[in-house]
Structure 1
Amino acid sequence: MIVPTAVLPIGDVNPTRRRAVVTWTFVLANIAVFVYQSTLTGCDQVRFVHRFAAVPRELLTGSPLAGGELEAVLGACAAGGTDKSVALSAVTAMFLHGGLAHLLGNLLFLVIFGNNVEDRLGRRRFVGFYLAGGLTATAAHVVFNATGTDALVPLVGASGAIAAILGAYLIMFPRARVFTVVPFPLYLLALLLPKVRIRTWLVFFAVVAMPAWLLLVGWLAVQWQAVRNPVGDAVAYEAHVAGFVAGLLLVLLLDRGRQRRGQDPFHPVHRPSPPPPPPGRRPDGGR
């Protein structure tokens, strides 16, 4: 799940030029899969999740779990095995979620930040970017959970791909204003920090406008701290960090290619201002 810091974003001030068709397609796809998953019960649901989830041991060996390992994961539902494409599961796992809170948390971040990244990248490029970020996050999770019982735990959720969107947003729109819900007494810092303003005050929490870089750097710091000092929950923090870094680096790599072709980059580049013309000479070279 995309876990915020101590704050929860609820919107941004960053208009787009076109409709976020791909972003909303991903949103609807995630909802549709979750609704279908919710209609299943018992072993049908257990097998469905395992069939389409990314399991580190399977991705390392290229083969579905079998024998005792499959029984350790599915228990009594392991009878008869499962029909699974291990390679495809790295993609399908991005559309599974472990519960309603998991789903809604991910989709909130996807809706707020995905539309602007899609608008800047373009629809087809955004699809590849989303999948590449998610696959990179999954690969990092596999590396961190390559041995022991953790290697048998299924990974589900769009968190890695959405983390890549956050990384791209940070480099593309660092100064965009983001509205966040901040609890008391943390929101009092808005009185001290520059460019952070309380928009609505509701005693126990407040709606605060802050620059995107502050929210996203804070979010990344929380994820990294959880990687260094595991808290024992079921969140794949290492996948979040890897997805975030992948999103940032993918934008930079795309921009290197665009600059070679003489195209404008996707992220803002600060260029030095040209020197002023000599005294008595107009900028066009005339007198």
Structure 2
Amino acid sequence: MTDHREIDRIVTAALDEDAPWGDLTSETLIPADATATAELVAREPGVLSGIDVFAAAFRLVDARIAVEALAADGDAFDTGAVLARVQGPARGILTAERVGLNLVQRMSGVAGLTARYVAAVAGTGARIVDTRKTTPGLRSLERQAVRDGGGRNHRRSLSDAIMAKDNHLAVLTAGGRDLATALREARERMPHTAHLEVEVDRLDQLDAVLDGGADTIMLDNFSLDDLGTGVQRIAGRAVVEASGGVSLDTVAAIAATGVDVISVGALTHSARALDLGLDVVISAGPGASGAAP
């Protein structure tokens, strides 16, 4: 679960963007003492992610609004399922509605897509992980959504691990410098707790990268045959990650080559927001003692 302080920071920014000087429509049309009950309803099947984020949108607008979760993050659901119930001042519910929906729809879309990838590699031992190809400002939430869908997280940021990609290697070996030596020298400068991952795009780079002491080797855009060869040549001396050209159509065959990890940028950069709606089911006008239909 994402830290509540992080959730509040992200949701507050979204609310400030959506209603920078208040909700003119609700404040004009809706009586201040009107109340309502609304339900979060699934318009299509999926996997839930972000129920705490959804609830935070209403809490941060008006602490009197109560959100009852009727499903938990990671739960699969069918069309028509009621996932949460929202009760309280109508103005606040209407003000928070769009932000709450935007975030839970986005997160549930990521979770559902991740679950499909995880199901496709079931039984192979390969892990499905995300990448840094996330929506700016929403990385924490999208990483949670990947976990809710059964996937795993790659490094969170540039500060979390050493990952030498093709452009790093081009600079590192400029002037004919030996790659293995350059990597060994880099390891000497690394904190002892750090992890070194190196991306390669050709089989003939493997020996140098292994000699350089890589903890994880990413085989980028390899053919299936070359992935299998790479796994055999690495032979357990490093974690093997496959990346590039991964889709729901190809991921099972990639997993069958024996790689340990498959990183999938599409989990976050190509996930479609799930169709969820917030339907008012009971409303009470000013001074009402009971609920009106």
* TM-score for the superposition, normalised by structure 2: 0.22
Structure in which a larger fraction of residues adopt strand? 2
Q: Which has the larger radius of gyration?
A: 2
* TM-score for the superposition, normalised by structure 1: 0.23
Structure in which a larger fraction of residues adopt helix? 1
